[in-house]
């Protein structure tokens, strides 16, 4: 498994963007922090942070869509597929598999 910190397990890191995942009481949270976001939504920014929360009842669908070997848990599966999900966009990927995640973001 990849490196852990207080935000969870790191799924991907590069070009100023780091993405983590955590599982707490069955709820999956994917968070990202982009320290290299120079312009976003037409505004100059120094940091963009976001989070996606997947309800416990949708976590099995996420695991199935990650297409990993039987017995691999959701966090390990996300670590294995993290780079692919970041390239697609985590929110877009979740939407493509029919999972509605709660979304938040912060720009500074």
Range of the domain at 33: 4-107
pLDDT (tens digit, 9 = 90+) per residue, 78-100?
999 999 999 999 999 999 999 99
Please check the confidence at residue 2 and state whether its pLDDT lies above 90.
no
Cα–Cα distance between 85 and 2 in angstroms, integer?
15
pLDDT at residue 49 above 50? yes
Cα–Cα distance, 13 to 16 (Å, whole number): 7
Mind listing the pLDDT tens digit for each residue in 52-69? Answer: 999 999 999 999 999 999
Q: How confident is the model at residue 1 (pLDDT cuts 50, 70, 90)?
A: very low
Task: Please tell me the total count of domains within the chain.
Answer: 1
């Amino acid at each position: 498994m990849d490196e852990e910190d207080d935000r969870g397990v790191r799924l991907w890191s590069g070009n100023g963007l780091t993405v983590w995942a955590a599982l707490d009481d069955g709820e999956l949270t994917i968070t990202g922090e982009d320290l290299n976001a120079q312009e976003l939504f037409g505004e100059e920014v120094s940091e963009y942070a976001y989070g996606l929360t997947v309800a416990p009842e949708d976590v099995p669908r996420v695991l199935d869509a990650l297409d990993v070997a039987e017995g691999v848990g959701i966090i390990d599966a996300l670590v294995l597929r993290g780079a692919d999900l970041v390239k697609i966009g985590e929110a877009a990927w979740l939407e493509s598999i029919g999972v509605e995640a709660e979304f938040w973001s912060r720009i500074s």
